[in-house]
């Protein structure tokens, strides 16, 4: 698979993760949750953050293949990270 296609696949994975996050967030209802569920959610969030960090690194490392796409991916990730840090 060409490197450009790999970058496109990674972008699609990132978009699918974001869509899944917002769909899950929108359908969540407020109810009692046990500690195991909370721990599982925390582990999943940690894993997703690690995935996003890896995608950002890959976009940076592969920027010579498609600088515009890499810039878009990195900028979107940074914008989301900035929003997360705001109070």
pLDDT tens figures, 31-62: 667 888 889 999 999 998 898 888 889 899 98
Residue 30's pLDDT band, with cuts at 50, 70 and 90, is: low
Q: How many separate domains does the chain show?
A: 1
Model-level pTM? 0.56
Give the length of the chain: 87
Task: Give all strands (DSSP E) within 1-87, no chain letters.
Answer: none
Residue 26 structural domain: 3-85
How many angstroms separate the CA atoms of 77 and 37, rounded?
Answer: 27
pLDDT (0 to 100) of residue 25: 67
> For residue 26, what pLDDT is reported?
61
Task: Name the residue among 57, 52, 58, 55 with its Cα closest to residue 80.
Answer: 52
Q: Hey, what's the torsion of the CAs at 21, 57, 77, 80, to 10 degrees?
A: 80
pLDDT at 44: 92
């Amino acid at each position: 698979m060409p490197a450009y296609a790999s970058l496109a696949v990674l972008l699609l994975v990132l978009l699918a993760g974001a869509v899944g996050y917002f769909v899950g967030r929108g359908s969540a209802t407020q109810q009692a949750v046990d500690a195991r569920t909370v721990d599982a959610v925390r582990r999943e969030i940690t894993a997703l953050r690690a995935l996003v960090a890896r995608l950002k690194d890959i976009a940076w490392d592969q920027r010579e293949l498609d600088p515009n796409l890499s810039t878009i991916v990195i900028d979107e990730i940074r914008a989301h990270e900035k929003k997360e840090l705001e109070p």
